[in-house]
Amino acid sequence: MAYLALYRAWRPQRFEEVVGQEKTVTALRNAIKEGRLTHAYLFSGPRGTGKTSIAKIIAKAVNCENIEEGEPCNVCSSCTDINNGNFMDVIEIDAASNRGIDEIRDLREKVRVLPAQGKKKVYIIDEVHMLTTEAFNALLKTLEEPPDSVIFILATTEPQKIPDTIRSRCQSYGFRRLTGPEILERLQQVAASDGIELDNEAGQLIARRANGGLRDALSTLDQIYSYKGKTIKKEDVLDVLGLVDELYLARLLEKVVEQDTAGIIEMLAAALGEGKEAQQLARESALYLRDLLLYMVMGDETDFLVVTATAKPLLEEQKSKIDRSQLLQALRLMMDTADKLRFSEGNRFILEVAFLQMAQIFNSETPVVQPSRQEAKTPRVQAPSRGNKPDAREILWNRLLAGVKEKKIPTHALLSQGRLLGARDDVLYIGYKKGYRFHKERMEEKDNRELLEGVARDILKRNVEIEFIFLDDEQYNDIIVKKAIEYFGEDIVEIKD
């Protein structure tokens, strides 16, 4: 027999087996028991919270031969066939791949046909928000005058996209995210049943990272079980999911607050060297900052997402060192960075620059205002106020200049007429205006280039190459600079005179 994924093996077969959603379960079971089911339902809520599972329980209940107290028996031929996916009168439709008007017209024609196998035909339309406007209009006609033998159950993760005309013809139920303890209890039940030794800290970590979705939690447990075997500890969860523990995050934030640039770069390099993803590091850092922010406000009442008792003493120390408004700026920066890293190739550089920017935020007497996403998309050349704090790009540029000056003053004089533009992969791009051809060409000579690359290597703790580019006076005119803006955003690579 083929292996059945845990989330499928543990899909609830009766209302009493559903985790959470108590109000929804009670209302639907009572409606079935009292014969008050309506012709159309709209289930909305996050993924993995039980929408499709409850839809199938309803389908079994209305066709069950031995229904008792609103619960299907799961023994009769109808229940068995529905559980096995062989029941002709329960039709599941994925609206993401059947979203056009032709598919809905076909459904309208088949709706008029009486049930072939059971008492009721049940149409379960998943991700219904994906239907086209024309398809919604066609479905509306059927919902207005449905046959008595048909029940529609529409499921969606984005209820705001459902037209009001459809919504008003359905009885709506909102599905909530499950709590950490609810998910942990089911994980422990599954682990005990399947002979898995699930460490309590490992279970808590899986439950917290499931973001309220039981299906995601069971899929994660399945994944770790396949890789690590029947004994699962917290370290196994961190390893398989590519996460870093809260102690690493706490120490990294310490480096940021202390303005320890070398320490920041070294810690990021170590994590990336172990195979951690840059986006995940940014996301984990955002979650840690979130925990710290809420701990400042709520104290021991905080519902932590990454922090456990092990790191709590460090959290207590940090809350007295950090200004809350600056922490908000840092949190926004990390969230934006995690989003940007989803679509970028120059992941390492983006991550490093983001942490340098965070260090600058905590070094400011007043919060550093980060550009909005819309502003970041609009290329511009700015002249900074002399009173402004330098951004992360300027910090790195100043360190390069200082390092070169310490080694060779003439090379520093040549380099200082350029501007650090940004990076892609392990290449730093430095731009010169057209009037500084002499400076650019001298910097391209072997001795000067190698000196600069050595300084950059000492700062960034890895080998990098230097590329020198000409700039117009008023605009970026080089394709590589445009690529840098595309990858890193104007706030990272913009030129200020």
**Domain CATH for 396:** 3.30.300.180
Element containing residue 332 per DSSP (H, E): helix 324-340
Instruction: Residue 469: name the closest of 426, 425, 423 by CA.
Output: 423
pLDDT attached to residue 4? 80
- CATH no. for residue 365? 1.20.272.10
pTM as predicted: 0.67
Distance CA 137, CA 382 (A): 50
Distance CA 55, CA 284 (A): 35
pLDDT attached to residue 309? 82
| pLDDT band at 434; cut points 50, 70, 90 | confident
Same structural domain, 87 and 74: yes
Considering 241, 265, 287, which residue would you say is the last residue of a domain?
241
Same structural domain, 189 and 86: no
Structure tokens at 380: 């511009």
In a domain, 159, yes or no: yes
CA-derived radius of gyration, the chain: 29
| pLDDT band at 381; cut points 50, 70, 90 | very low
Distance CA 219, CA 207 (A): 11
Report yes or no: 95 and 127 within 8 Å, Cβ to Cβ.
yes
> Which domain does 116 fall in, by range?
6-174
Same structural domain, 162 and 207: no
State yes or no: pLDDT of 491 exceeds 70. Answer: no
Same structural domain, 202 and 263: no
Residue 412 one-letter amino acid: H
Considering 375, 405, 420, which residue would you say is the last residue of a domain?
375
State yes or no: pLDDT of 219 exceeds 70. Answer: yes
State yes or no: pLDDT of 440 exceeds 60. Answer: yes
Considering 241, 267, 286, which residue would you say is the last residue of a domain?
241
Same structural domain, 484 and 348: no
Instruction: Give the rounded distance of the alpha carbon of 332 from its chain centre.
Output: 14
pLDDT attached to residue 364? 62
Report yes or no: 43 and 156 within 8 Å, Cβ to Cβ.
yes
State yes or no: pLDDT of 320 exceeds 70. Answer: yes
Same structural domain, 98 and 132: yes
Same structural domain, 485 and 421: yes
